[in-house]
Amino acid sequence: MSVDIVENEESILIFAPVSGVSLKDISVLVEDETLTISGERKNPVPSKEGNFLAKECFWGLFSRSIILPTIADKSKVKASFSKGILKIKIPKKESEKTRVVKIIEEK
């Protein structure tokens, strides 16, 4: 399962294409430092339809685990699903955000 992972100032975003999968067949689990996406893509073509001339599509169970950075606020993970794309948003911890430190001149 392929994913795109993007980081911005506020959060970490994970985009996973899961076309052909029903929302009820997908799960997102956060356990310790790991986020796991799993599910099942059910084969819509019964084997009795005939002989395959090509078989390139993946059908069946799938899973992908991602180790989360320490800046991820695992208690606030949110997921949404639209047009075959699963989007997971993981906010960063407030204390871990980058900040500019002002340097003062000593006299």
What is the reported pLDDT for 62?
Answer: 95
Does residue 21 sit within a domain? Answer: yes
CB burial of residue 42 (10 Å; 0-12, 13-18, 19+): exposed
What values do phi and psi take at 62, rounded to 5? -140, 160
Which residue range is the domain that position 86 belongs to? 4-96
Does residue 83 sit within a domain? Answer: yes
The total number of structural domains in the chain stands at: 1
Domain at 65, CATH number: 2.60.40.790
Q: Which residues of the chain have pLDDT under 50?
A: none
What is the reported pLDDT for 10?
Answer: 92
Does residue 102 sit within a domain? Answer: no
